Every structure is written in C-alpha cells, then in structure tokens.
C-alpha cells in the first residue's frame, strides 16, 4: 500500500460510525452481515449506514455481494492487512526484537500460511457451531457432524450466553434419529479460546444474533461463515408442532452437513477452500430461507 491509499483508508475510518462498522465487520469475518443487521447493531439509520458503507468501499476497506434478498458486507481482508503492514513497516527502526508480538507478526495476519500447513496434516478438522444459547440448532449440528464426519471431523458447539441445558425437543429429535445424547452440554464459546482448547478449523454461526455479536478471537484463524436459520425453539402450538419444527431444522442441517463434509474432503489449497466454503455458505443461507420443502424435491 502506498501513502496516498493509506491516507484515504485512515480518513475513511476517522468517523465514529464508520470505525464502528469496520470493527464490527472485522469481528464477523468473511461471512459478513446484511446491511439491516449492521444498522441495528451500530444503532444508525439505513440511510446513514448506506453513506458510511460507500465511504468505506471507496477506501477499499469493505466489499459487498448479493445474498438472496439481501446485500451482505464484509471487510476487505487484504486491504486491512496492507494498511496494518504499511503502518508498522519500519517499526522500532528495523529492530524487531524490540517490537510487540503483534508488530513482529503483522505481515502474517490474515494470510493463508497457517491454513496451508493445516490442510497438509492428516489430523481431523475441528468444527465449531455457534448459537446464542447453545441449546438447539448448534447442538443438533454438532451431533450430525460427529456422526457424518466419520472421524475426519470433530464437532463442537457453544454459545455467547449458554442456557446450560439442552432443549428437550432437540434431545427428542436426536434420539429419534439414533444419536447418542448423553454427555451433551450447553457451553460458552469462551471455552474454545484458551491455550488448551482444540485448534478450530471452521466456525459456523447458526443464528443471526450470534453472527452479529462480538465473537472471541479464535487463535487458529479458522474459516468463519454464517449458516443462519430459524430457531425451532420459537415454534408455538402443540408439542407435535414444536417437534415438527425441530424435525425441519434437523433435515436442513443434515443436508448442509452432508454437503459440507464432501466439500471439505476435497484436495483444495487454502485459498480455494475458503472460496468454496464461502460460496457453499451463501447457498446454505438461501436454502434455509426457503425451508426444508426445497430439499424434498432434490431427494
């Protein structure tokens, strides 16, 4: 990055709301957020947000793409890395031993080096599913991935504010499909940030509120995407109707996990893997909006 581009980027960030938007998108990773979720989280009007996003896009700090009925926005990772590298290029007069760890490793931020090495390993992938309460969707996804992954994937689930108990309808639908449910727990996502936590390779948020929250910093720089789907716990009516909502969620997740397992087993380089998972996740969100009905026509 040259100095003129750096000045443009810094000028774009020199505003409270634009800085808040940028930091929010950095936290959300490559999956990004719809404009409506950004406006609600930051607390500004859609008109004001549109203006600020244009300024950030002009500075090449954010990108956008159509996702069904919505426009999603995410940070331009390479531009962010280039700006950070420009700002710390001559840190400590070229004596890196005096630099902080973040300055010493700035050139490695958001690169694919670690992932390239990870993908050459024969170790199983670790997948983390997130929902706010970790009591239904994420638990079902965890069980499906552990079952369908056949040892090539180890799944976990967690939430920002875990309920500590699993929804009984989630337990019922899992047992109906032959899954073991003993040992399932509702956990905090902080459990996966420590030095003793497993190295997470993929993180999937399953509810919009979890995607919009300030996620922890995952030490392993995992591929992070959003698989937003309706909450079956919100279903009203008889127990039969509530169980049917969980059956619908199970069917959707079964379809997505099966497709993902086959995708992730492909012999892809790190950049291709990220692109494929991003494209796949866009399709997941589209199918989730349509509901499980579309899956029956493809069975």
267 or 80, higher pLDDT: 80
The pLDDT of residue 217 = 64
The pLDDT of residue 65 = 83
> Contact at 8 Å (CB) between 192 and 198?
yes
**pLDDT confidence band for 184 (50 / 70 / 90):** very high
**pLDDT confidence band for 246 (50 / 70 / 90):** very high
Query: What are the pLDDT digits (tens) for 4-38?
Result: 999 999 999 999 999 999 998 887 776 678 888 89
Q: Could you tell me what percent of the chain has a pLDDT over 70?
A: 81
Mean pLDDT, the chain, integer: 83
Average pLDDT over residues 254-259: 95
Residue 270 has pLDDT above 80, yes or no: no
The pLDDT of residue 18 = 95
The pLDDT of residue 117 = 62
| Top-ranked range on mean pLDDT: pick from 13-27, 166-180, 265-279 | 166-180
12 or 95, higher pLDDT: 12
Burial class (CB in 10 A: 0-12, 13-18, 19+), 266: exposed
Residue 214 has pLDDT above 70, yes or no: no
3-state secondary structure the chain: CCHHHHHHHHHHHCCHHHHHHHHHHHHHHHHCEEHHHHHHHHCCCHHHHHHHHHHHHHCCCEEEEEECCEEEEEECHHHHHHHHHHHCCCHHHHCHHHCCHHHHCHHHCCCCHHHHHHHCCCCCEEEEEECCCCCCHHHHHHHHHHHHCCCCEEEEEEECCCCCCCCHHHHHHHHHCCCCCCCCCCCEHHHHCCCCCCCCCEEEECCHHHHHCCCCCCCCCCEEEECCCCCHHHCCCCHHHHHHHHHHHHHHHHHHHHHHHHHHCCCCCHHHHHHHHHHHHHHHHHHHHHCCHHHHCCC
221 or 118, higher pLDDT: 221
The pLDDT of residue 36 = 87
**pLDDT confidence band for 98 (50 / 70 / 90):** low
Tokens for 174?
């899992």
> Contact at 8 Å (CB) between 42 and 51?
no
The pLDDT of residue 115 = 55
Greatest CA span in the chain, whole angstroms? 70
The pLDDT of residue 72 = 86
Burial class (CB in 10 A: 0-12, 13-18, 19+), 195: exposed
- Using alpha carbons only, how large is the chain's radius of gyration in Å? 20
């Amino acid at each position: 990055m040259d100095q003129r581009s750096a000045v443009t980027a810094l000028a774009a960030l020199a505003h409270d709301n634009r800085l808040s938007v940028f930091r929010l998108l950095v936290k959300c990773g490559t999956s990004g957020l719809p404009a409506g979720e950004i406006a609600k989280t930051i607390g500004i009007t859609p008109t004001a947000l549109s203006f600020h996003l244009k300024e950030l896009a002009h500075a090449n700090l954010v990108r956008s793409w159509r996702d069904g009925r919505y426009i999603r926005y995410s940070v331009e990772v390479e531009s962010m890395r280039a700006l950070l590298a420009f700002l710390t290029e001559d840190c400590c007069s070229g004596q890196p031993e005096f630099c902080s760890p973040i300055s010493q490793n700035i050139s490695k931020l958001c690169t694919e080096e670690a992932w390239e090495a990870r993908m050459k390993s024969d170790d199983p992938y670790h997948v983390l599913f997130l929902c706010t309460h970790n009591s239904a969707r994420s638990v079902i996804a965890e069980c499906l991935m552990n079952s369908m992954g056949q040892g090539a994937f180890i799944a976990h689930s967690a939430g920002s504010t875990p309920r500590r108990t699993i929804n009984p309808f989630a337990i019922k639908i899992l047992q109906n499909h032959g899954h073991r449910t003993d040992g399932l727990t509702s956990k905090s996502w902080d459990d996966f940030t420590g030095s003793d936590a497993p190295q997470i390779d993929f993180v999937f948020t399953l509810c919009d509120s979890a995607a919009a929250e300030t996620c922890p910093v995952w030490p392993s720089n995992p591929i992070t995407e959003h698989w937003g789907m309706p909450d079956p716990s919100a279903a009203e009516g008889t127990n039969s109707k509530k169980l049917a909502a969980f059956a619908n969620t199970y069917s959707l997740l079964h379809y997505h996990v099966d497709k993902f397992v086959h995708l992730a087993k492909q012999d892809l380089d790190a950049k291709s893997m990220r692109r494929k998972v991003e494209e796949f996740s866009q399709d997941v969100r589209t199918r989730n909006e349509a509901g499980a009905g579309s899956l029956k026509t493809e069975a």
